[in-house]
Amino acid sequence: MLSGKWREVMTVSVDEYPAPAPVVGRGAVFVEHRLKSPQVSESAYIAPTAVLAGDVSVGPHSRVLFGAVITAEGGSVQIGANCVIMENTVIRGVPGQETRVGDDALIGPHAHLTGCVIEGGSRIATGAVVFNGARIEAGAEVEFNAVVYVNTVVPSGVAVPMGWFAGGQPAELVAPGDWDRIRAIMGPLDYPGTVFGVGAGAGDAGTPMSDVARRYARGLALHHRDHIVPDQRHTPTQDQIGT
């Protein structure tokens, strides 16, 4: 027969001890940056050791695996539904350029995406780099260690071969040894202006690289005001009906 003390414990009401709120990404690092915190769907999975910083959203049934970093450095990052962001990928949102991964996209380990759009159903393989202002259209592929240069469009159905360079609108695909052709394509696409907001010649006769680095460092100084969001505040967003 239960004692009076145990009867009191067994009859505690839900109002007195409510169930804890659901959380997502337990053990992952969520960072409040520029007064914005990550927003993650309740059906998504964020691995421990992954980092999401700032104005980042992750859609239903997407998976962000170990060591991945998704950071909104002055521009939001949107990850769609049913995406896989694999180990040690870096996705960086920047000012003035859309950063978005569409639905049903696969981003391989150690890929690096900055200020670019990866449309739905695309595949970015291990070690590939997609630079600012680039767009990978639906169903296109970027193979292992390939580079998609700034302001480049890879059309639907095109695959950038392993280790190759893609530049232009639409992308011209160039083998890695053809440096003369690669340099000719790079010039008009304006890497310094697109990435650093300076005139052509950064690091040469134009804007010194030391000035570029100082400007970049000033922007990143806002991380001094960051706050780590504790696990109990990793409140998921509700999935939309039908997702």
CATH number of the domain within which 29 lies = 2.160.10.10
Dihedral angle over CA of 111, 50, 45, 231, nearest 10: -160
Domain-embedded: residue 69:
yes
Domain-embedded: residue 8:
no
User: In which domain, by residue range, is 183 found?
Assistant: 20-233
Question: What's the pLDDT at 201?
Answer: 53
Mean pLDDT of 53-59: 98
Burial environment of residue 163 by CB neighbours within 10 A (0 to 12, 13 to 18, 19 or more): middle
Domain-embedded: residue 107:
yes
Would the pLDDT of 242 be above 60?
Answer: no
Domain-embedded: residue 12:
no
Question: What's the pLDDT at 165?
Answer: 98
* Residues 22-45: tens digit of each pLDDT: 889 999 999 999 999 999 999 999
Number of domains in the chain: 1
Provide the token pair at 93.
Answer: 């949102």
Residue 5, phi then psi, degrees to nearest 5: -65, -45
Question: What's the pLDDT at 210?
Answer: 86
Place of tokens 């914005």: 36
The pTM score is 0.88
Question: What's the pLDDT at 205?
Answer: 52
Domain-embedded: residue 10:
no
Domain-embedded: residue 5:
no
Domain-embedded: residue 242:
no
Domain-embedded: residue 243:
no
- Say if residues 108 and 90 touch (Cβ distance below 8 Å): no
- Say if residues 143 and 128 touch (Cβ distance below 8 Å): yes
E strand or H helix that includes residue 198: none
Would the pLDDT of 4 be above 70?
Answer: no
Question: What's the pLDDT at 212?
Answer: 85
Question: What's the pLDDT at 13?
Answer: 64
What span, in angstroms and rounded, lies between the C-alpha atoms of 9 and 20? 18
Residue 8, phi then psi, degrees to nearest 5: -65, -40
Alpha helices in the chain (DSSP H): 4-10, 179-189, 191, 209-220
- For residue 72, the tally of other CB atoms under 10 A from its CB is 24
* Mean of pLDDT over the chain: 90
